Amino acid sequence: MATPALAQQTSAQVLQPDTMAARVAACTACHGAQGKAGADGYYPRLAGKPQDYLYHQLLNFRDGRRQYRPMAHLLAGLPDDYLREMAAFFSEQHVPYPAPPRAEASAAMLESGRRLALDGDAARGLPACASCHGASLSGVLPAIPGLLGLPRDYISAQIGSWKSGLRRAAAPDCMADISHTLTPADIAALAAWLSSRPIAEPYAPAAADSLRLPAECGSQAQR
């Protein structure tokens, strides 16, 4: 085991100014080493997410389209190229996913979530999550994230943020449109089912243009 003096010396070496380790130290303090996700389930995984998706979220926090004051404070004044390099770093991190927690939900709720995620609801004009996020829900390059490996409460909170306008994206904001169609029961079912799904490695975004999106999304076109 390293002595305290050696550990302090090593830490000082790692966090030299103008290194990527120093640049992302504030990120990993909450989002975990390599961006593997925070231990409390509130801070989502960054590791392995599409670079453009991560970059857009940094821009959205910095520019006020996504509301969370600590993130806005950390990113205030940082230039686009600086944020793009941070996004590239986390997109290249590959950390195994933990096993999902047992779903505390009825079979009927889980089945409702499964149908919405994989089939959608044509009667309401509601596309399946898989129609944008890929058949394995692992995301699609360049900017659509995977949906598995996220905590249940986090999924519910993010859909709620789209619905309330606390979270926005470049127009046309397809997720905002979809969230307004979802009922509270829909959101609860989706969060329960998605958060309970096991992940088969390698879990990586599908290739760009591997599917045709059911709606135009500004964040996917924004580069």
Helix ranges (DSSP H) in the chain: 4-14, 20-23, 25-31, 51-63, 69-75, 80-91, 107-118, 130-133, 152-164, 174-181, 184-195, 218-221
**Number of domains composing the chain:** 2
Residue 81 lies in a domain: yes
Residue 172 lies in a domain: yes
Last residue of a domain, one of 95, 116, 132: 95
Pair (140, 189) in one structural domain: yes
Last residue of a domain, one of 76, 95, 114: 95
Q: Are 120 and 128 in contact (CB under 8 A)?
A: yes
Q: For the purposes of burial, counting CB atoms within 10 Å of the CB of 222, is it exposed (0-12), middle (13-18) or buried (19 or more)?
A: middle
Pair (50, 143) in one structural domain: no
Chain centroid to Cα 150, Å, comes to 8
Pair (47, 72) in one structural domain: yes
Pair (85, 136) in one structural domain: no
Place of tokens 């969060």: 191
Chain centroid to Cα 121, Å, comes to 24
Residue 221: what pLDDT?
Answer: 60
Binding residues: 27, 30-31, 71, 129, 132-133, 175
Residue 214 lies in a domain: yes
Residue 11: what pLDDT?
Answer: 45
pLDDT in tens, the chain (223 residues): 444 443 343 444 457 877 899 989 999 999 999 999 988 878 999 999 999 999 999 999 999 999 899 999 999 999 999 999 999 999 999 999 999 988 999 999 999 999 999 999 999 999 999 999 999 999 999 999 999 999 999 999 999 999 999 998 888 999 999 999 999 999 999 999 999 999 998 899 999 988 898 888 877 765 5
Binding residues for heme c: 27, 30-31, 71, 129, 132-133, 175
Q: Which of 159, 149, 160, 136 has its CA nearest to residue 194?
A: 149
Pair (132, 196) in one structural domain: yes
Q: Measuring CA to CA, how many Å separate 183 from each of 116, 155, 159? A: 12, 14, 10
Last residue of a domain, one of 95, 115, 146: 95
Q: Domain residues for 57?
A: 21-95
The CATH code of the domain that includes 43 is 1.10.760.10
Helix axes 174-181, 152-164, angle to 10 degrees: 100
Pair (41, 87) in one structural domain: yes
CA–CA dist 48, 113 (Å, integer) = 25
Pair (48, 131) in one structural domain: no
